[in-house]
Amino acid sequence: MAHQQTTAASAVPSGRPGQEQEPRRRLRASDVIRKISQILGELLITAGIVLLLFVGWELWWTNVEANAKQTEAVQSFAQDLTGPVTPAAPGNQTDYGPPVVGTAPANGETIGIMYIPRFGADYTRPIIEGTGADVLDTLGLGHYGSTSMPGATGNFAVAGHRQTHGAVLDSIHTLVPGDKIYVQTADGYYTYVFRNNQIVLPNRTDVLMPVPTQPGIVPKESILTMTSCNPRFGSQERIIAYSVMESWQPASAGPPSEIAAQVAKAQGKG
Amino acid sequence: MYSWIFRNLPGPVWVRILTCLVLVAVALVLMVQFLFPWFSQFTTLTDSTIGLVQQP
């Protein structure tokens, strides 16, 4: 906006030559007012356009950017995965024993991949360690570092945006009790079943407790807690979705059949 | 302001139009890269975490 000052300054001496002294001064005064109001108008129009662009950026472009980043994160994580991508034979309900619990990686590193069929057959999103803006704004689902890892007895809690920046949990309110939520790590597949959701105020950190909202209770189940903002396009409240782990199978056993195609696609074998 | 910029650009009209397009593109890139991410911290649309866990 450096031009604006130059314009205002140069507007003053730009009186037309060869005119009488008296009418020239009057003309110059009105000229200055005209110039100033014109510059002001142009600046205001510019500000309006910039604000509209910001809305477009926030509501649309952040999603484009985040989706690209997340696809990249899924791909680079899936590269190192082992095990078959075809599901075990149906009806073959082997008990694989207690789930393997991984250790949390450094902030910003990928923990695993989440598949939620209710959110669409292409819902393949990375789960990243950490809930800072650096993680949530591009990489999507962020794991609260203070909570357990997938499969552990206790609470595995992740946060994600409801709107903008990939909108990873936009459809969180459409989950129906019984819906499967699959978490894939390097160790295997953890199948969670959605149980209920809850709408709370943003300061309710007790939803992240080992047994959510019940301090001092020793956990017996593995809970998956997802937090996002509520209402959509607002942040006055938080919507919390609780799921309970139903089963676990190691990577060597192949993916659950419901997500087999997605798993194969993520690993570039589909 | 904009007409002043246009008048003071060098070259024939088509070159000046091209220069303007480049200037607009540069302004867009600067806004998307720096201005908008900075400004978005003042909107509350993106708060999805519980408590003060993530706030630095």
Model confidence pLDDT, tens digit, residues B19-50: 999 999 999 999 999 999 888 877 766 666 66
Q: Which residues on A lie below 8 Å from B9 (Cβ)? A: none
Q: List the single residue in B with minimal CA-CA distance to A134.
A: B54
- Say if the Cβ atoms of A57 and B43 lie within 8 Å: no
Predicted TM-score (pTM) of this structure: 0.80
Q: How many CB atoms lie within 10 A of CB A178?
A: 9
Whole-number Å distance between alpha carbons of A173 and A240: 9
- Which of A78, A103, A1, A75 is closest to A44 using CA atoms? A1
Range scoring the smallest mean pLDDT among A44-58, A95-109, A112-126: A95-109
Q: Is the pLDDT of residue A149 over 80?
A: yes
Query: Smallest CA–CA separation between B1 and chain A, in Å?
Result: 6
The verdict on A109 touching B (C-beta cutoff 8 Å) is no
Query: Smallest CA–CA separation between A244 and chain B, in Å?
Result: 20
Whole-number Å distance between alpha carbons of A88 and A149: 25
Q: Which residues on B lie below 8 Å from A233 (Cβ)? A: 45
Backbone φ and ψ for A238, nearest 5 degrees, come out as -125, 140
Q: How many CB atoms lie within 10 A of CB A213?
A: 15
**Confidence band for A14, pLDDT divided at 50, 70 and 90:** very low
The SS3 assignment for A166 reads: coil
Q: Which pLDDT score, from 0 to 100, does residue B42 have?
A: 79
- Sort strands A124-129 and A110-115 into parallel, antiparallel or unpaired: antiparallel
What number is the average pLDDT over the span A52-61?
Answer: 91
The answer to whether the complex's ipTM is over 0.95 is no
Q: Which pLDDT score, from 0 to 100, does residue A12 have?
A: 47
Substitution target in B36, B48, B55 with the highest count of A β-carbons within 10 Å is: B48
Q: Which pLDDT score, from 0 to 100, does residue A80 have?
A: 86
Helical residues (DSSP H) of chain A, grouped into ranges: 2-11, 21-56, 62-79, 133-136, 260-266
Q: Which pLDDT score, from 0 to 100, does residue A87 have?
A: 80
